């Protein structure tokens, strides 16, 4: 009896492992359509167990969730930096603009996630078009934030920290958009 129980557990773990490997391969191959495939795989492989039947919509949804978490954390970090007392006027203005554009980015990603949760029905194409528009707008907002830190008139540490965070969000957003485009085109 113990042998059968052990065999059953071993067999079950083998099949679960094989299923996760299949999903893992699906994630890896899906990430090849993105501009940042290594980052894509690194951030989405943790979702392998929640993506059923190699579903590209679930993968795009996971990418949006990862992007939202990063965008919210970045928005909060930039907001806290605005409260620093030792900012030069140009730094304060650039950070204030960045706070606004990052909030817009977060709102657009949230709106996209909301619509992604209800893609059923005859208006699939319209919903996907809206999602593509919102995620593209979020990417533009992130780029606009980084544009405010061009030139040498900024404190190097402030500029570097913000650009580092926003650049990562921008890369995640780009990856999410590529996966969303793949869903829209299928």
What's the domain count of the chain? 1
Give the whole-angstrom CA distance, residue 17 versus residue 19. Answer: 5
What pLDDT, in 10s, does the model give residues 97-106?
999 999 999 9
Q: Which residues does 108 contact at the CB level (< 8 Å), separation at least 6?
A: 134, 135, 137, 138, 141
Look up the domain containing 96 and give its range: 2-184
Of the candidates 5, 4, 60, 2, the one whose C-alpha atom is nearest the C-alpha of residue 27 is: 60
The CATH number covering residue 107 comes to 1.20.140.40
* pLDDT tens digits, one per residue of 5-44: 444 444 434 334 434 466 788 999 999 999 999 999 999 9
Q: Distance between terminal CA atoms of the chain?
A: 49
């Amino acid at each position: 009896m113990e042998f059968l129980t052990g065999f059953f557990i071993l067999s079950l773990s083998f099949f679960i492992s094989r299923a996760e490997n299949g999903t893992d391969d699906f994630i890896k191959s899906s990430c090849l359509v993105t501009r940042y495939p290594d980052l894509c795989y690194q951030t989405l492989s943790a979702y392998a167990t929640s993506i059923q039947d190699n579903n590209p919509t679930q993968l795009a949804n996971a990418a949006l969730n990862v992007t939202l978490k990063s965008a919210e954390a970045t928005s909060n970090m930039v907001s806290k930096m605005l409260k620093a007392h030792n900012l030069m006027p140009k730094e304060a203005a650039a950070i204030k603009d960045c706070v606004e554009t990052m909030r817009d980015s977060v709102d657009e990603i949230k709106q996209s996630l909301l619509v992604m949760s209800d893609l059923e029905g005859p208006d699939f194409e319209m919903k996907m078009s809206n999602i593509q528009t919102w995620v593209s707008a979020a990417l533009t907002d992130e780029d606009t934030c980084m544009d405010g830190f061009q030139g040498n008139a900024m404190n190097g540490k402030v500029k570097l920290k913000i650009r580092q965070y926003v650049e990562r969000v921008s890369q995640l957003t780009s990856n999410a958009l590529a996966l969303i485009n793949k869903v829209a085109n299928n």
